[in-house]
Structure 1
């Protein structure tokens, strides 16, 4: 059986990151998204440790107890820089990345930038490429799913999201993963993070750094995602819930062309946006198979 999950602080990117970790061996760095915390990978990390890996999940920049960014940066490139900096700070020259939602964005960017550091890539819930940004302009179904991204640009977002002890977040989990019966301790862990001073502003900052500039200048769909268009020279496994209420599975079409070293996409029936939490046995089995054997 795997050892106890530990928590400690790691200094990287001039920030103090609080991380959860378990196991010994090659590093698997697990990067969470929104609205979520490092606890997102509580089902994957013990399985990784039992398989001989050192699994580490940081609370992403700005998500308490990790520090807010002193310079206010929450853009996609800096998230990728954080991933690479954490690998080095943890004492490794290379690692596997497992990213969900914003963590997937960070992982894609790190793999594109440093394929010599990222050995293998596992992502969930967010496709790579320009399709998502194009869909914000051309796909009505995705525009409806992504309404919150535009709402988060407004000055009332902090008040609305925090109202009634962050009931907004609970409703987002329900909308994005309609079949997921999470437990109250899981929701409490999320709300505890967001109650901490600075977390909500930081979490919204991820969206404001991405869409804010686009809303202020004329933009073409093809120009919105240049950072998500470079080929990724790393073997990759991607999970996506068929019932994802945040990002439609149709946006995964054509991703394979950007992964010359191979991409396996697993669209999971009966799962939504938080696929790795909803179907942990399925995800863990394919994850460990991918790590042992590849695609």
Structure 2
């Protein structure tokens, strides 16, 4: 992923942020039956409007995306679970149809956790299964640690436990090098190097229709807000002074996926995760897969997720 962001910024500069998707084709694109069945709803999180898509009935599963992404990140997993669960995938603040408050203070992790709680409350539920990737994974870990009464189960895609992440940032030169992009994102005006077309190009993975969806969503998003996740919450800040933070143990069962070719988040960060958990822990490592495991291996991730959840009902 470090290479992803290096190439991304270079591409934006060299192409002058040119559009890389076929807008004509995107207008003619026909939505899948499942996608068309999804309902948009909005939760109020202390005055911040959080948009999410939902479908299905049963235990509530809340999906939280990372950077750069939006609710659509989870479309395969949502479709695979919707016949036995209520699925709800949100646009985190700053993205797509959710509010985009200005100011670094509005992207503190406690507020991001509160956004997930607001979605759960808006559905009239007391708890939910929380699923997160990348920054969504950090939000999900934090939600499980600090809102255990609202966490039924926890599923993480490519984001080591914060303790493992902090340990590797403090001691592992490879992780420190891999995380340089995150330090760069914390610099003033880092958002000016981003564009909707450039971000969409890399998420599309060669699919023009998918790229059009991403470009449209990123066109509605706030790039400065995206960078505020890093500025407000990245371990060690821009100087990398990580220290040795402590975290409360996660009280719920945990399923974790990790693509072993992830070049942003080293798999060494997975070591000793179990020391921070009170219940069972299932780890699925996927060789040959990078940071977006749920995009690259959607069937594997979805089937495993469904099996793991069904076995614990």
In the superposition, the TM-score normalised over structure 1's length comes to 0.86
- Deviation of 1:5 (Å): 1.8
Instruction: Tell me: CA distance 1:220–1:55, structure 2 relative to 1, closer, same or farther (3 Å).
Output: closer
Which one of 123, 128, 140 corresponds to residue 156 of structure 2? 123
Q: How does 1:213-292 map to 2 (within 5 A)?
A: 214-215=237-238, 219=241, 221-223=243-245, 226=246, 229-292=247-310
Aligned partners of 2:131 and 2:137 also within 8 Å: yes
Alpha-carbon distance change, 188 to 143 in structure 1, aligned in 2, over 3 angstroms:
farther
Alpha-carbon distance between aligned partners in 2 of 1:37 and 1:88, rounded to the nearest angstrom: 21
Q: What is the aligned-residue RMSD (CA, Å)?
A: 2.4
State yes or no: 1:158 paired with 2:191. yes
SS of corresponding position for 1:56: strand
User: Shift in Å at residue 265 of structure 1?
Assistant: 0.8
User: Pick from 156, 168, 183: which aligns with 2:207?
Assistant: 183
Larger CA deviation: 110-119 vs 130-139: 130-139
Q: Distance in 1 between matches of 2:90 and 2:229?
A: 16
Distance in 2 (alpha carbons) for counterparts of 1:244 and 1:169: 19
Specify the SS of the correspondent of 2:79: helix
C-alpha deviation, 1:100, in angstroms: 0.8
Residue 12 of structure 1, CA deviation: 2.8
Alignment check: 8 A CA contact 1:153 1:212 kept: no
Contact between 2:153 and 2:252, CA under 8 Å: does it hold in 1? yes
Partner of 2:226: 203
Rounded Cα–Cα distance in structure 1 between residues aligned with 2:69 and 2:215: 9
8 A contact 1:160–1:168 mirrored in 2: no
**Post-superposition, which runs of at least 4 consecutive aligned residues in structure 1 deviate over 3 A?**
168-171, 211-216
Superimposed CA distance per residue, residues 129-174 of structure 1 (whole angstroms, 9 cap, x where no aligned partner): 3221232232221122212111112224122223xx5426645x5x
Write the distance in 1 (CA, Å) between the matches of 2:63 and 2:263.
Answer: 22
- In the superposition, the TM-score normalised over structure 2's length comes to 0.82
Given the alignment of the two structures, is residue 167 of structure 1 paired with residue 195 of structure 2, yes or no?
no
TM-superposed deviation, 1:207: 0.3
Number of residue pairs aligned between Structure 1 and Structure 2: 279
- Give the C-alpha shift of residue 281 in structure 1: 1.0
Report SS of the residue matched to 1:42: helix
